[in-house]
A = this chain, B = another copy of it.
């Protein structure tokens, strides 16, 4: 009977008479391979695995590693984030570590090794099988955000002149670790001077469905979407995703280097969204999982923007000093300063987060600038009218007199409109001059609108309040 592991139901039976709720301490105490296998089966969630692992002593981790075979090692390390996997690898001898890394697909192995300190990485690479370490070193040599850095170099390939029967035999001989993309690549035979040149692609499905005597060349699709190895990872992910491909070959000078799979796409999409989210909050991306970031790292990633914004925000002090006379005459004006500038910041933040995300996923492009402005200024006008009405009511209830109340209402409307303009133009202008608009954070918009909003406020006050006699 099938054992379904569902998100809602626990697995229906435990293996080998072991208790169903083993934790990793128990596994190490029991000390059998069966216990490891049972734990892996009952603990599918990667975060739970990482948490239980983090609670083991180094000695316990070493015992655990002693219980792993290549399959369980691949299951465990492959499910962890590279930083957590790297911590396991760091507590064992290089020779043992090399065995663990060897159990992973080459792209996972490279990711794990990237997370190790340089000396440890060198020691593990030196202890790995030479054929394997050469492949992994090849991956490590590509820039970290390139398509090639993520590709799986183990590709199943056949020759165009083969019959389907011969191709199936050829596939059978190829390594187990080959990317499980469902695609078989048709290439020339690699020589000493040149790697395999990509000619076309057939799917396992095509091979299953075709007669065994058909020639591969007659089955293959020649029109293959490919990327250059140095192509941006995110662009490659979007290409793969938009074309609904099952795999994207990475090709240089016609030669097939490896493939990206939809798995990688989800990883890349998630990482990019995380980086953008952090940028939108006015900080720099962390490069490590949050819980692994030390306070010093967090400080470094945050303090630059904090200081830039703090210094920019100082401008508000200059503005307020310039209007000291007005403030002294009508102290009630001061009461509404946080309300008005806060509202301007909110209006702008709503726009930038929506717009920048729409640009990131390709819904909005530079040519849409006219549509965006029309849309945002109309929306801004609607919001301005709503906010001005409520603002006027609020000033009224504070009993500050009709002139100040009117000033607050008019200034609120003007600030919302101004903020809408700044927030919709700025991301598009930055994209135009080649800067990623994701740097326009909520805090940046808030800061921009604070100082200028104050000027609007006091100019409106001068205009509308008779005792300030403009």
Collect the chain B residues with CB atoms within 8 Å of residue A8's CB.
Answer: 227-228, 231
Collect the chain B residues with CB atoms within 8 Å of residue A286's CB.
Answer: 354
Collect the chain B residues with CB atoms within 8 Å of residue A293's CB.
Answer: 375
Collect the chain B residues with CB atoms within 8 Å of residue A2's CB.
Answer: 198-200, 222-224, 254
Contact with B along A187-202 (1 / 0, CB 8 A): 0000000000011100
* Set B208, B295, B303: member contacting A208, Cβ < 8 A: B208
Give Cα A447 to B349, complex, Å: 13
Collect the chain B residues with CB atoms within 8 Å of residue A225's CB.
Answer: 4-6, 44
Majority secondary structure of chain A interface residues (helix, strand, loop or mixed): helix
Chain A: residues with Cβ within 8 Å of the partner, total of: 148
Is A78 in contact with B6, judged by CB distance below 8 angstroms?
no
A 363-409 contacts with B by CB, 8 A: 363-365, 367-368, 371-372, 375-376, 378-379, 382-383, 386-387, 390-391, 394, 398
A278 within 8 A of B: yes
| Minimum CB–CB distance for A438 against chain B, Å | 10
Of all chain B residues, the one with the shortest Cβ separation from A237 is: B266
Is B7 in contact with A239, judged by CB distance below 8 angstroms?
yes
Contact with B along A260-271 (1 / 0, CB 8 A): 011101110110
Give Cα A267 to B450, complex, Å: 37
Is B352 in contact with A281, judged by CB distance below 8 angstroms?
yes
A16 within 8 A of B: no
Is B7 in contact with A295, judged by CB distance below 8 angstroms?
no
A219 within 8 A of B: no
Is B223 in contact with A41, judged by CB distance below 8 angstroms?
yes
Collect the chain B residues with CB atoms within 8 Å of residue A243's CB.
Answer: 44, 79
* Set B1, B242, B266, B294: member contacting A265, Cβ < 8 A: B266
A331 within 8 A of B: yes
Is B363 in contact with A291, judged by CB distance below 8 angstroms?
yes
Is A307 in contact with B390, judged by CB distance below 8 angstroms?
yes
Collect the chain B residues with CB atoms within 8 Å of residue A314's CB.
Answer: 339, 394
A112 within 8 A of B: no
* Given A321-B398, A336-B317; A447-B342 close (CB under 8 Å): yes
A139 within 8 A of B: no
Is B242 in contact with A349, judged by CB distance below 8 angstroms?
no
* Given A358-B290, A387-B306; A338-B336 close (CB under 8 Å): no
* Set B205, B269, B280, B372: member contacting A280, Cβ < 8 A: B280
**Supplied contacts A306-B346, A321-B335, 7 more A-B pairs, CB within 8 Å:** A79-B242, A180-B182, A277-B277, A277-B356, A283-B354, A295-B375, A334-B334
Interface pairs A-B: 6 shortest CB-CB: A281-B353, A182-B182, A273-B273, A262-B262, A290-B358, A316-B338
